[in-house]
Structure 1
Amino acid sequence: MTSSATVHSGPRERTRKAILDAAMTVLADNPSASLTDIATTADVGRSTVHRYYPERTDLLRALARHVHELSNAAIDRADPTHGPAYDALRRVVESQLDLGPIVLFVYSEPSILADRELAAHLDTGDEAIVEVLNRASVDRPEYPPYPPGWARRVFWALLDAGYEAAKQDGTPRHQIVDAIMTSLTAGTVNLPRG
């Protein structure tokens, strides 16, 4: 009997998940880490990693799909279509911040981006984020309009800044979330008027 539940709960799937989880941890901290480093963290042999992922690029592509799935699941759990826009946006920020810097690794790793089909797939899934950003936005006629896709790019750039603040400065998570929300909703620099 081969049901999807059996496939996803068997030892092979647990090993695959252990390797991907280890890759998330190791590569987020050290993008040039070896497969041996990942195997050690996964508590498996290097030959086991090679059995699942014969080449480093195979592992990186699987990791990219895994992180994409985790990101989409986190967006769904954040439930961005319900409640006031500010609260929904905050839940989304928190959900994506919890994934950690592996998101940035996946979306900037050249070997992942070189696979056009995978890169196109990775560019989907954050439509709910764009929708909540649009819901939270108000027209401000005193300012020029933003270029298309600007809010989405700013969202991901602020998450990048949040990951760096946590890693390099030890900034507490709640302070990072507050800073991201303030930057998204009120801007970063407040110049005196007049």
Structure 2
Amino acid sequence: MTASLSAIGGPRSRTRKAILDAAMGVLGTNPNASLGDVAAAADVGRSTLHRYFAERTDLLRALALHVHELSKSAIERAEPNCGPPVEALRRVVECQLDLGPIASFIYCDSSIVRDEELTAELDTGDELIVEVLDRVATQGTAGPPGWPRLVFWALLDAGHDAARQGAPRVQVVDAIMASLTQGTINPNQS
């Protein structure tokens, strides 16, 4: 596994983090962006980027782990075990939505999905989301095992798309919450 950012000290850590943060923004908006685009956004030369990440797959692997850590930290900060379940779920939705579309990219990119070890690592860490979804559920969940978790992440992906198209954040969060808590979208709205 790649060392965490905190395990690498000093300027090297800051440069690595700058590259990963730039990659989040660049690849989140343009999954086909070049490493040169990422280097420019990080304000480093392409040769510097290659010293940290020799290949695109190395960058994507590190980016996936970086985003996964950010997601887990955001879940913890949202305190999903505190307060009324619907309020806790809203905080979780908001914190994950704030990560932006990079999360969808990470969990769908073919080079990441093919890496079984990495995929297994990325498939952990959202247990608190599942717990809060279970607390919100008032009736038995229809669908196969794990359905609420899959729906949560699918709605988040839809929320990123809506936000990218200009929908106000509060409207996106409200729509995700309505879908999660009411189970359907109002057929009278278009």
Q: How would you bin the TM-score normalised by the shorter chain?
A: over 0.9
Distance, in Å, in 2 between the alignment partners of 1:106 and 1:181 is 23
Which of 163, 181, 184 is the equivalent residue of 2:180?
184
Distance, in Å, in 1 between the alignment partners of 2:121 and 2:161 is 26
Q: Percent identity?
A: 66
Alignment size in residue pairs:
185
Distance, in Å, in 1 between the alignment partners of 2:40 and 2:68 is 24
Distance, in Å, in 2 between the alignment partners of 1:14 and 1:152 is 34
Question: Shift of residue 99 of structure 1?
Answer: 0.2
1:125-136 map, 5 Å: 125-136=125-136
Any unmatched runs of 5+ in structure 1?
none
State the match for 1:65 in structure 2: 65
Once the two structures are superposed, what CA deviation does each residue of 1:48-89 show, in whole Å capped at 9, x if it has no partner? Answer: 000000000000000000000000000000000111100100
User: Any runs of at least 4 consecutive aligned residues in structure 1 with deviations exceeding 4 A, and if so which?
Assistant: 4-9
Q: CA 1:190 to 1:166, structure 2 compared with 1: closer, same or farther past 3 Å?
A: closer
Distance, in Å, in 2 between the alignment partners of 1:116 and 1:50 is 24
State the match for 1:173 in structure 2: 169
Which one-letter code corresponds to 1:178 in the other structure? D
Q: Kindly indicate whether residue 48 of structure 2 is the aligned counterpart of residue 48 of structure 1.
A: yes
Which one-letter code corresponds to 2:75 in the other structure? I
State the match for 2:24 in structure 1: 24
Q: CA 1:128 to 1:48, structure 2 compared with 1: closer, same or farther past 3 Å?
A: same
Distance, in Å, in 1 between the alignment partners of 2:27 and 2:5 is 29
Q: Is the CA contact 2:178–2:185 (under 8 Å) kept in the aligned structure 1?
A: no
State the match for 1:159 in structure 2: 156
Which one-letter code corresponds to 1:107 in the other structure? Y
State the match for 1:79 in structure 2: 79
Which one-letter code corresponds to 1:150 in the other structure? W
User: CA RMSD for the aligned pairs?
Assistant: 1.9
Distance, in Å, in 2 between the alignment partners of 1:6 and 1:163 is 29
Which one-letter code corresponds to 2:71 in the other structure? S
Which of 142, 151, 155 is the equivalent residue of 1:145?
142
Any unmatched runs of 5+ in structure 2?
none
Q: CA 1:16 to 1:126, structure 2 compared with 1: closer, same or farther past 3 Å?
A: same
Once the two structures are superposed, what CA deviation does each residue of 1:20-42 show, in whole Å capped at 9, x if it has no partner? Answer: 00000000111010000000000
Distance, in Å, in 2 between the alignment partners of 1:178 and 1:6 is 35
Larger Rg: 1
Q: CA 1:6 to 1:112, structure 2 compared with 1: closer, same or farther past 3 Å?
A: closer
Q: CA 1:98 to 1:6, structure 2 compared with 1: closer, same or farther past 3 Å?
A: closer
Question: Shift of residue 187 of structure 1?
Answer: 2.3
Question: Shift of residue 9 of structure 1?
Answer: 4.8
Question: Shift of residue 138 of structure 1?
Answer: 1.4
Distance, in Å, in 2 between the alignment partners of 1:6 and 1:85 is 33
